[in-house]
Amino acid sequence: MATMRTPIESGVPDNKQFLHPLMKKNYGNWKYHDRPRPGVLHHVAHSGDEIWTVRAGTQRQMDLFTIRKLCDIADQHADGHVRFTIRSNIEYMVSDESRVAPLIEALTSNGFPVGGTGNSVSAIAHTQGWLHCDIPGTDASGAVKALMDDLHAEFIKEEMPNRVHLSTSCCEINCGGQADIAIIIQHTKPPKINHDLVANMCERPTVVARCPVAAIRPAMVNGKPSLEIDESKCMCCGACYPPCPPMQINDPEHSKLAIWVGGKNSNARGKPTFMKMVASGLPNNPPRWPEVSAMVKKILYTYKEDARSWERVSDWIERIGWPAFFEKCDLPFTKYLIDDWRGSRSSLNASTHIRF
């Protein structure tokens, strides 16, 4: 008799099937953990079982050969047990301390730095960029590569006041998230509309509804249905470009990069915080983005020097205050930075209702 097909849209698969056997056995029953050296975590269970986790940095977007190399190292040194962290580090688990040193040697000799634990600068989380997405204004992974080349020493050591999470986002509106220091694309001119294509490519009501400040209206241009933008309202967010590619907003000159600081997702020692913009108008300058790297390093090393132990970037700024932050980091302050205007909640589209 035919059996009914069970639905598969039932959430993520049970992760326990992929866990290291010792982790599965001691799930939820750990006594303590410590870090014998940067890049190595050591967990001890109430049962007496011990497990060592070795963390290495990867470039996130990997070719097949690199993935095979990482898997070969897992097969040879860790019985095939790996997992990835949210910042694209790879972790290998072993249940015997004597396997840790050969594993580290295999990773470092193949060019994968071991670190990213504790008070280090972990690998930079970046959005997909030109490789996978259709709307980026910059190559997020390229800016990360350039910056991480400079910050490699901070990845393999744990010398920051607290952990530092960095990120880059290649548009202003979609993926990204909160980070201690973030590099985010910043459009500075309204989209340029190709009126010949709008009627064929765009669902106009959807595009109108996307605009958070209701700056887009339907219009007839040259006898064709199109759209028009009230440029005095447009805040150059780029939200209209994904559903309507003829509303081109990416521009080699006017799409810039901005630096945001003080975000965090964790609620350890303080609530999660939102980032605030502290520098804007930096050139989108591939392939090495030197101006951006210099600015991030300036903020990062000022934090390293000035923050107290265990202060995240947001805690440090909270203690010294924004004026001192700008002064210490040699950043010019303008009225466009650190927007904390609470009135925006009723004037920006923050719900599914459209307001005009």
Cβ 77 vs Cβ 46: under 8 Å: no
| C-beta closer to ligand SF4: residue 142 or 238 | 238
N residues, the chain? 356
Q: Are 303 and 324 in contact (CB under 8 A)?
A: no
Q: Measured from the CB atom, is 116 or 190 closer to ligand SF4?
A: 190
Q: How many residues bind ligand SF4 (CB under 6 A)?
A: 27
Element (H, E) at 293: helix 290-306
Span interacting with ligand SF4, options 23-31, 238-246, 285-293, 328-336, rule CB under 6 A: 238-246
**211/282 with CB nearer ligand SF4:** 211
**Residue numbers 183-212 binding ligand SF4 by CB under 6 A:** 190-191, 210-211
Task: Between 144 and 234, name the residue whose CB sits nearer to ligand SF4.
Answer: 234
Left, alpha or beta for 30 (phi > 0: left; psi -120 to 50: alpha)?
beta
Among 62, 146, 199, 236, contact with ligand SF4 (rule: CB under 6 A): 236
Rounded Cα distance, 2 and 4, in Å: 7
Residue 322, judged by CB atoms within 10 A of its CB (0-12, 13-18, 19+), counts as: middle
Q: How far is the CB of 33 from ligand SF4 (least distance, A)?
A: 34
Site string for ligand SF4, 115-134 (x = CB under 6 A): ------------xx----x-
Max Cα–Cα distance, the chain, nearest Å:
78
Put the strands of the sheet holding 255-261 in their side by side order. 125-126, 166-169, 181-187, 255-261, 276-282
**Contact predicate 166/121, CB 8 Å:** yes
State the minimum distance, in angstroms, from the CB of residue 344 to ligand SF4.
13
Q: Which is nearer to ligand SF4, 229 or 317 (CB)?
A: 229
Examine residue 226 and tell whether it contacts ligand SF4 (CB under 6 A): no
Return residues touching ligand SF4 (CB under 6 A). 127-128, 133, 135-136, 169-171, 174-176, 190-191, 210-211, 213, 215-216, 229, 234-240, 249
